[in-house]
Amino acid sequence: MSIVSLKRMTLCGLLDEKASILHQLQALGGAHLIPLTEMPESAQTATQHITEKAVNALKYLMQCRNKRHQVHDDEEFNLETVVDNVAKVRYECRLLSDQRDFLLKRIAEIEPWGDFQLTEKDDLGPIQLWFYIVPKRLMHKLNKALVYQVVHQDNLYCYVVVLSEQEPDSTALPVARTHTGRVPLSQLKKQLQQTELRLEDLQAERESLTRWITLISLSLVKNEEHADLKVAHTMTLDSDPVFVSQAWIPASETERYADFAKFHGLAIQFSDPEPNDKPPTLLSNQEELAGGEEVISFYQTPSYFDWDPSVVVFFSFALFFAMILSDAGYALVFGVLLMLKWSSLKRSKSRRRLRMLAAVTIGCSLVWGVLTGSYFGLAPTGQGFIAKLKIFDLQDFDSMMRLSIGVGVGHIALANLVKFYQNRRRLSALAPLGWVLAVIGGFTYWLALEQANESGRIAAYALLTLAAIFVLGFNSERPVRQPVDLLWRLLQGLKSLTGVTRIFGDVLSYMRLFALGLASASLALTFNQLAGQVYHSVPGVGLLFSLLILLFGHGLNLLLCLMSGLVHGLRLNFIEFYNWSVSDEGYPFKAFSRKGG
């Protein structure tokens, strides 16, 4: 696990050859460009809009159920034209779908009244028609003076038409008036038919456009490359007749870029990062353990001058998830699901990495589940081989609490040991070493109190005293040139000692491993007992009900375990562990290269 060492590369060439050089540099790949001028906000605007439209068009076409054979010859393909056609089809489909929904709703409302055409005002003189939908149980409340006709009725309602010069008073009828509109039912149905026919035509047009999916995907890659190249042109320092470009490159690649500069007749210079520089972070891990990179990049990229916690997060997440799951049966279920998805998870580099992380996590969960002797909430009995593998008892609260706190002590101590190693050439490194001694001493003191071990208490006092000296005296890097400087160092040390409450709270946070593991096991046991009670109390059909309870209960518990394992397994790494080991946030290394490989 490491952060790749970088070099600052400076290239200088003729301004007339700038476009060609940048194009070749993009083809070479692997350099993170450094802006030497203030980049205009519109650097990517020219291609960003069409890229966004193309992505939306591609998503829309990919969702189409029936797809045509793909066209691979781009002679008749124009990205903007195809994207515009897709956008037009999508927009019309949305409008027509809304219109169809409105017509369906309107027809459902009008149909009970029948197909009628409202007369003009002069046909009935001053008389007008007023429409009401009255519940049958309220029909007796109609004012007897009203002139009305029931034109339709069903099991619940009567559809009443009232003839009156003015709208009847609200007290004359038990319900509010219904608005039927002036468009007859036959006309609405005709509009619906036309709308559905047009939607069918648009669906056929959408299916026809799916033939361009492959070419759109390829064009997106080219378009992104073109956008990167255009931005690269704005990042150079131009002073006729030369231009200067800078980039961060891996230190191991200097020879390759030196050959590139020699071939193109460029001046080149390499230099190490300065303390005030902020280089990007390029992580390098074995592919089997690189799943940790994908996890930490989700939360925070470490600074270039910091360290790479991805491997530690890889294994600690697997351990925490296993302790939260605490069931070998559940681990087997997750294992089967992973095996079913194994082939589909190899399509991209990040998926392959996460697949390996999932495999290790499930493996740890299976081992821990066997050690706790829990199989879908059931514990093996007797003296069999599986029963002998049980080492930990989740119902032994004291032991499991000590184990969870011990894991927290080890995790926090490791974080501070990393900090100590990073600052090993400075006296300030003794401060994180002091925190290591503090958590170990505190844990030792707690165990000694429980076991009434006097020698353990003495050892704990010694560790805590040494920890206080280290944190109090070496937390500050302020040089001591006069007595007041020593006073300021002591004051800063006293301030840092207040961190004891924070480290105490962080260590106690690891009790959630025991609490969530116990909750998982308790839920599984509860559902098993409930299913057993139903099976014995309801003969015959009780078997079916008990199976349904088991499927629903354990399925729900699996989902809860998955959520809590992911959330709290990551939280203990990103909050508690990061607080003591990762100082600054960085930004990822972004290679200026061709996306198509």
Distances (CA, A) of 51 to 80, 192, 217, 219, 222: 10, 36, 10, 9, 10
Distance CA 292, CA 297 (A): 8
Distance CA 577, CA 299 (A): 13
Is the pLDDT reported for residue 46 higher than 60?
A: no
pTM summary value: 0.76
- Parallel, antiparallel, or unpaired: how do β-strands 237-239 and 157-164 relate? unpaired
Higher pLDDT, 560 or 228: 560
The count of other CB atoms within 10 Å of the CB of residue 580 is 24
Distances (CA, A) of 95 to 102, 186, 320: 11, 22, 51
Domain end among 131, 148, 180: 180
Is the pLDDT reported for residue 402 higher than 50?
A: yes
- Tell me the pLDDT tens digit for each residue of 556-594: 999 999 999 999 999 999 999 998 988 788 899 999 988
Is the pLDDT reported for residue 434 higher than 60?
A: yes
Average pLDDT over residues 489-513: 85
Residue that has been written with the tokens 């781009």 in this structure: 74
Distance CA 191, CA 176 (A): 29
Is the pLDDT reported for residue 486 higher than 90?
A: no
Name the burial class of residue 593, with classes exposed (0-12), middle (13-18) and buried (19+) by CB atoms within 10 angstroms of its CB.
Answer: middle
The count of other CB atoms within 10 Å of the CB of residue 325 is 32
Geometric angle at alpha carbon 44, from 283 and 18, rounded to 5°: 80
Find the helix packing angle between 542-571 and 511-537, rounded to 10°. 170
Domain end among 159, 180, 201: 180
Token representation of residue 318: 């697997």
297 and 171 in a single domain? The answer is: no
Poorest-confidence range of 225-234, 248-257, 552-561? 225-234
582 φ, ψ (degrees, to nearest 5): -105, 120
431 and 568 in a single domain? The answer is: yes
Length of the chain: 597
Q: What is the mean pLDDT of the chain?
A: 88
User: Which band of pLDDT confidence, cut at 50, 70 and 90, is reported for residue 49?
Assistant: low
Distance CA 413, CA 416 (A): 5
In a domain, 330, yes or no: yes
Q: Report the b/e string of 287-310 with b at 16+ CB within 10 A.
A: eebbbbbbbbeeeebbbbbbbbbb
**Computed from CA positions of residues 128, 131, 136, 138, in that sequence, does the dihedral angle turn out positive or negative?**
negative
Spell out the alpha helix ranges (H) of 423-510. Answer: 430-451, 454-474, 483-497, 499-508
Asked if residue 361 lies in contact with residue 322, where contact means CB atoms within 8 angstroms, the answer is yes
In a domain, 565, yes or no: yes
Distance CA 141, CA 547 (A): 54
Distance CA 86, CA 80 (A): 10
What is the per-residue DSSP string for 121-172?
A: TTTTTT-EEEEEEEEGGGGGGS-TT-EEEEEEE-SSEEEEEEEESSPPPTTT
What number of helices (H) and strands (E) belong to the chain?
19, 10
563 DSSP assignment: H
In a domain, 90, yes or no: no
Cβ-proximal residues to 287 (8 Å cutoff; 6+ apart), any chain? 352, 353, 356
Is the pLDDT reported for residue 208 higher than 90?
A: yes
Average pLDDT over residues 41-57: 67
- Parallel, antiparallel, or unpaired: how do β-strands 6-14 and 242-250 relate? antiparallel
User: Which band of pLDDT confidence, cut at 50, 70 and 90, is reported for residue 313?
Assistant: very high
CA atoms within 13 A on the CB side of 139: 14
413 membership: H or E segment, kind and range:
helix 397-422
Average pLDDT over residues 403-425: 92
Q: Which amino acid is at 403?
A: L
Domain end among 180, 214, 230: 180
Distance CA 353, CA 311 (A): 12
Smallest CA-to-CA distance from 356 within 292, 298, 299, 310 is with 292
User: Which band of pLDDT confidence, cut at 50, 70 and 90, is reported for residue 43?
Assistant: very low
Q: Identify the domain containing residue 301 by its residue range.
A: 287-581
In a domain, 233, yes or no: no
Distances (CA, A) of 340 to 239, 362, 556: 59, 14, 21
Higher pLDDT, 82 or 49: 82
In a domain, 275, yes or no: no
- Tell me the pLDDT tens digit for each residue of 265-308: 999 999 999 988 999 999 988 888 888 888 998 888 899 998 99
Tally the domains of the chain.
2
In a domain, 522, yes or no: yes
Average pLDDT over residues 452-464: 90
173 and 294 in a single domain? The answer is: no
In a domain, 80, yes or no: no
459 and 327 in a single domain? The answer is: yes
pLDDT (0 to 100) of residue 423 = 85
448 φ, ψ (degrees, to nearest 5): -65, -35
User: Which band of pLDDT confidence, cut at 50, 70 and 90, is reported for residue 494?
Assistant: confident
In a domain, 60, yes or no: no
Is the pLDDT reported for residue 421 higher than 80?
A: yes
160 and 305 in a single domain? The answer is: no
- Parallel, antiparallel, or unpaired: how do β-strands 128-135 and 147-153 relate? unpaired
Torsion of CA 128, 131, 135, 141, to 10 degrees: -20
Asked if residue 22 lies in contact with residue 229, where contact means CB atoms within 8 angstroms, the answer is yes
Smallest CA-to-CA distance from 596 within 315, 44, 219, 280 is with 219
Asked if residue 12 lies in contact with residue 243, where contact means CB atoms within 8 angstroms, the answer is yes
172 and 300 in a single domain? The answer is: no
3-state helix, strand, coil in the chain (%, to 5): 65, 10, 25
